[in-house]
Amino acid sequence: MDDPLRNTAELDLLVRAPRAIVAGQEQAVAVGVKDGRIVTVAPLDADLSATQVIELAPDEVLLPGLVDTHVHVNEPGRTEWEGFASATRAAAAGGVTTIIDMPLNSIPSTVTLAALREKQEVARDQVSVDVGFWGGAVPDHLGDLEALHEAGVFGFKCFLADSGVEEFRHLEPEQFTEAMTETARIGALMIVHAEDSGALAASTPAAGVGYRDFLASRPTQAEDIAVQRVIDEARRTGGRAHILHLSAADALPALKAARAEGIDLSIETCPHYLSLCAEDIPDGATQFKCCPPIREHDNQDQLWAGLVDGDIDMIVTDHSPSTADLKHFETGDFGTAWGGIASVQLGLAAVWNEARGRGIPLTSVVSWMATAPADRVGLTHKGRIEIGADADLVVFAPEEEWDVDVAKLKHKNPVSAYADRHLTGKVRQTWLRGTLITDDGAPFGAFLQRGQS
């Protein structure tokens, strides 16, 4: 326990929590906040005072704010799909206090410095949580990577297969080699949608209402081949790489071996791969379409084992919303429907609901959804309850049961793979830098840059 008398003069906020996740353990603590930062973590009954004192109920646990490094906000250009106002309100409602916005599906994509500045100008004064930005690595703009890196983006996203939007083209193998060489040179993190275009082309294209047909069109081999390409380029360049939204557990042995070799490589998976199964998806239910796809229950078990064993580092949502019409509910055609799952508000509950059933503690969920993603992008003042960290705090009721009503979600469009799902675990309050986020309050989120502390 930290010194209870350290930096406690004139506290702005004091949170007394009989249960809190601190340093990887559940502890009883008093957390003191001054000027938006945690200045003391003391025993629960420490003699402390503050302008505002909050005492958690016995059924509540104090968590650090989650860090979601994989969110598609889609503004500007496709603001009808989501937007910074709705995405960050949804994030806060789900206990997420930091998001990193993906370079697509906005128009323009964040592949030039001018596009980054345009996106930031649009987002300004709209964000309810803290927001950082990824840059994009596309064939025509590899020469723009250094300028974006110097502007503070957290790294660069690329696709090894069709992205689904024509303005963000995927990298062919020789272009990926060039991009990895450049990101290694400037010290940037390359984050990769790892599906191989050749393996996808060799599969029967998805068409019609059959989920099994869609699943067959995105085989695990496509991920395996692409993951190996990332490993090979990271080894060759000595660069840093990250595998996005791993769905195929078959790739884990190669990834584990690469990391044992010393290759700087991290891996994420997503709530939908951990809580939804192919066997349960009805034909025509295109709300479940995403790429890579939701796979079978046995594969899900292996992903959970990978998390527990430390072979997968983190869980982030890949929040990828769209308007309802793009899901083609009228036809249920998996071949033509947009692929993406809106989940930034639901990720914590979905993951915890599944984890608790598997006997996995809340401390692990916090590590995977807050601390690990923060650390990978260098935000070591986020995702933890400790002295010096931002006072991003979440009041979570881990035993509260509820049903997902899509009409009440803060996402812009009422489309969700979790519709009507019965979940256990509910966010009751979210605090950003020591201030409670409320529905009627003005947004006060800030922009984040790589290297910021």
What does the pLDDT read at residue 10?
86
Query: Measured between alpha carbons, how far is 434 from 407 in angstroms, rounded to an integer?
Result: 30
| Contact by Cβ (8 Å): 203, 211 | no
Token pair listed for 321: 């919303």
- In 3D space, the residue among 336, 249, 227 whose CA is nearest the CA of residue 289 turns out to be 336
What does the pLDDT read at residue 8?
55
What does the pLDDT read at residue 102?
98
- What predicted TM-score, i.e. pTM, was given to this entire model? 0.97
DSSP label at residue 184:
H
pLDDT tens for each residue of 290-338:
999 999 999 999 999 999 999 999 999 999 999 999 999 999 999 999 9
Q: Compute the Cα dihedral for 252, 271, 69, 384 and give only its sign.
A: negative
Residues of the chain below pLDDT 50: 2-6
Helix/strand/coil percentages in the chain, nearest 5: 30, 25, 45
| Contact by Cβ (8 Å): 323, 451 | no
| Contact by Cβ (8 Å): 95, 63 | yes
pLDDT tens for each residue of 197-238:
999 999 999 999 999 999 999 999 999 999 999 999 999 999
What does the pLDDT read at residue 383?
98
Dihedral pair phi/psi, residue 313, rounded to 5°: -85, -35
At position 302, the amino acid (one-letter code) is Q
| Contact by Cβ (8 Å): 429, 113 | no
- In 3D space, the residue among 173, 377, 206, 174 whose CA is nearest the CA of residue 292 turns out to be 206
What does the DSSP assignment read for 288-299? G--SSPP--HHH
Query: Measured between alpha carbons, how far is 265 from 228 in angstroms, rounded to an integer?
Result: 12
Query: Measured between alpha carbons, how far is 204 from 414 in angstroms, rounded to an integer?
Result: 31
138: left (phi over 0), alpha (psi -120 to 50) or beta: beta
What's CA 346's distance to the chain center, in Å?
11
Contacts of 364 (CB under 8 A, 6+ apart): 307, 308, 355
Query: Measured between alpha carbons, how far is 110 from 102 in angstroms, rounded to an integer?
Result: 8
Query: Measured between alpha carbons, how far is 446 from 432 in angstroms, rounded to an integer?
Result: 10
Contacts of 357 (CB under 8 A, 6+ apart): none
Q: Compute the Cα dihedral for 245, 352, 97, 306 and give only its sign.
A: negative
DSSP label at residue 329:
T
In 102-239, the DSSP E strands lie at 130-133, 135-136, 156-159, 189-193
Query: Measured between alpha carbons, how far is 41 from 386 in angstroms, rounded to an integer?
Result: 7
Q: Is 415 helix (H, G, I), strand (E, B) or coil?
A: coil
Query: Measured between alpha carbons, how far is 391 from 33 in angstroms, rounded to an integer?
Result: 7
Mean pLDDT in the chain?
97
- In 3D space, the residue among 108, 124, 151 whose CA is nearest the CA of residue 447 turns out to be 124
3-state per-residue secondary structure call for 135-150: EECCHHHHHHHHHHHH
Residue 253's Cβ-side half-sphere holds a number of Cα atoms within 13 Å equal to 1
